[in-house]
Amino acid sequence: MPFRHVAIIGLGLLGGSIGLAVQQHLPGVRTSGFDLDPATRARARERGLAALVPETAAEAVAGADLVIFCVPVGAMSAAAASVAGALAPDALVSDVGSSKQTVVRELTQALPGIDVIPAHPVAGTEHSGPDAGFAALFRKRWCIITPPAEASIAKLDSLSRFWEAIGATVEIMTPEHHDLVLAVTSHLPHLIAYTIVGTASDLEEVTRSEVIKYSAGGFRDFTRIAASDPTMWRDVFLSNRDAVLEMLQRFTEDLTELQKAIRKGDGEMLFDQFTRTRAIRRSIIAEGQDDARPDFGRGDHQSDG
């Protein structure tokens, strides 16, 4: 393993999972971590999310050759500023943020002279905080690395090997392309889930208890997504604004087409559309890209296995 000491800033779902995964898969690598919230630091020590959880970010990054920011994308700048003077000059800085263009810009600006190579493990749950992390989170999941044009090939290779060692499969993309792809595959679906759950709970003629009682498959799946962390998702939408607005525009147009078909009684149009989307689901399953997590979509327990 090219890294001897990994420091994790932010010890919630992502940071905690990285800490546990490194300790499980790379026992020779030192781990340290810091979180702004004292209660999270205390819980991180109890759960052993990192071997060392000191009281300051500067102490956590001292001597680390890989520093990973695992904070909401709107907090990346402040988190980077909090370690600016304390990083080893040859440390590699990375992150796990769900959007990449603003993050790469903000980390690079906050840390002049330091190598920054952002990443996004496309792996998560609707849970957050220091109790949510588990070592197997990244197993068989994609990790998209978005190196700036000037990134060192050797450091990019080291970061790829790190993610592979904790179970992920690495893909390289530009930050621009990443933000477009994730806008449609992740950000828009979350926005739709937040909307539909809000719409259902605002109805006057249908009571909230009826919504809960009769929430068969479809609605229930949306409520899982809509339970995701409000701070994290507020930041994702504000940071990936342009790509999300572009995808939302296309989605709105397609929704209007379906609305027209229903009004006109155009069953053929509806049937063709649903046949096309069923084929997409089937190809996801055939490629083994359905979710490997044992509790996906069903319970709210996590495992450390």
Ligand X SMILES: O=C(O)C(=O)Cc1ccc(O)cc1
Residue 171 binds ligand X, judged by CB under 6 A: no
**Interface residue with ligand X, options 124, 133, 147, 167 (CB under 6 A):** 124
Which of ligand X, ligand NAI, none has residue 96 at its interface (CB below 5 to 8 Å by kind)? ligand NAI
Say how many C-beta atoms besides its own lie within 10 A of residue 3's C-beta.
20
Binding segment toward ligand X, per CB under 6 A, in 48-56, 105-113, 120-128, 282-290: 120-128
Cβ-based nearer residue to ligand NAI, 115 or 229: 229
DSSP type of residue 52: B
Residue 98 binds ligand X, judged by CB under 6 A: yes
Residue 302 binds ligand X, judged by CB under 6 A: no
Number of residues that bind ligand X (CB under 6 A): 8
Residue 101 binds ligand X, judged by CB under 6 A: no
Residue 102 binds ligand X, judged by CB under 6 A: no
CB of 102 to ligand NAI, least distance (A): 11
Residue 186 binds ligand X, judged by CB under 6 A: yes
Q: What is the three-class DSSP state of 204?
A: coil
Geometric angle at alpha carbon 122, from 169 and 64, rounded to 5°:
75
Residue 122 binds ligand X, judged by CB under 6 A: yes
Query: What does the alpha-carbon distance between residue 129 and residue 106 come to, in Å, rounded to a whole number?
Result: 24
Cβ-based nearer residue to ligand NAI, 13 or 67: 13
For every residue of 211-259, DSSP letters joined together read HHHT--HHHHHHHHHHTS-HHHHHHHHHHTHHHHHHHHHHHHHHHHHHH
Say how many C-beta atoms besides its own lie within 10 A of residue 92's C-beta.
26
CB of 148 to ligand NAI, least distance (A): 18
Query: What does the alpha-carbon distance between residue 140 and residue 215 come to, in Å, rounded to a whole number?
Result: 31
**Interface residue with ligand X, options 37, 126, 246, 266 (CB under 6 A):** 126
Residues found in the chain = 305
Query: What does the alpha-carbon distance between residue 187 and residue 33 come to, in Å, rounded to a whole number?
Result: 28
Where on the chain is the footprint of ligand X (CB under 6 A)? 98, 122-126, 186, 225
